[in-house]
Every structure is written in C-alpha cells, then in structure tokens.
Amino acid sequence: MSGIEWIVEAHGCDPRALADIDELRTLFSRMIADLGLRPVAETQWHQFPAPGGITGLCLLAESHLAIHTFPEHGSLCLNLFCCKPRPDWDFATYLKTHFAADSVEVRRLERAYAASATGVRA
C-alpha cells in the first residue's frame, strides 16, 4: 500500500492572481471536487501584508492540501498528499490558465508505507 504526493511549483505567475484569495479558494474547490477528496475541517487561510502572498491548508481525510503564494516573486508552491492512489490532476493546464504561469513543475512521489522485502525502496 502506498500514497501519492504531488509537489508543484509554478513560476512567472500573475502577482494579482497569487494575492487573490478567491482564486485560491476556487483552485482548492476544483481539486477537491475533481479528485473526490474529503475535507475534515474548513480550509485555513492566512493572507500576509502586501507584497506578501497567501498560505492555505486543507486537512483531508486522505491527508492534506497546502499552498503558499509569493506574488513578489510571481510563484506558488502547492502540495497534495493522498494516502490512497489518485489519478493525476492537470496542475499545469489549470495554473497556466488561471494564474498565467509561464512554467509549472510537477513532481509525483509514491509514498510507501512499509519497506520493501529487500529493505530497498523502489
């Protein structure tokens, strides 16, 4: 058994979108709906004074969804960890469309819950 973690970095984003809490709420809502995630509490948001960005954290039955935006650098960092495998979500298209990202890097990690029989992780 293993889970999946996505680490997403987007650069060249529109600073206004990165400072717009409604844009981020929409992103979280879309991901939660599309992936069938189950929040166990309300998402917590913290908006830093300008030119700072926003930090958001949603505790999920599956684990967590978190984001940190940096309007002053035109970037965002997003992390989604699910304790059960889920299909890949199209982070790049969404972030390029809604945040005007020039580049999006998505790292997908399989998180094993037990060591393999040989003691070496694949």
Q: Where are the alpha helices (DSSP H) in 1-56?
A: 15-18, 21-35
Q: Is 68 known to be catalytic?
A: yes
Domain extents in the chain: 2-83+94-112
CATH of the structural domain 2-83+94-112, one choice from 3.40.50.970, 3.40.50.720, 3.40.50.1220, 3.60.90.10: 3.60.90.10
- Listed in sequence order, the residues at least 6 apart from 5 whose beta carbon sits closer than 8 Å to its beta carbon are 79, 80, 81, 82, 108, 109, 111
Q: Is 63 known to be catalytic?
A: yes
The residue from 73, 77, 83, 98 that is catalytic is 83
Condensed to tens digits (0 to 9), the pLDDT of residues 92-116 reads: 999 999 999 999 999 998 877 777 6
- Which has the higher per-residue pLDDT, 84 or 18? 18
Condensed to tens digits (0 to 9), the pLDDT of residues 2-45 reads: 899 999 999 999 999 999 999 999 999 999 999 999 999 999 99
pLDDT score, position 117: 53
The residue from 68, 73, 77, 98 that is catalytic is 68
Strands 54-59 and 103-112: unpaired
- C-alpha dist (Å) from residue 18 to 43, 53, 112: 17, 6, 33
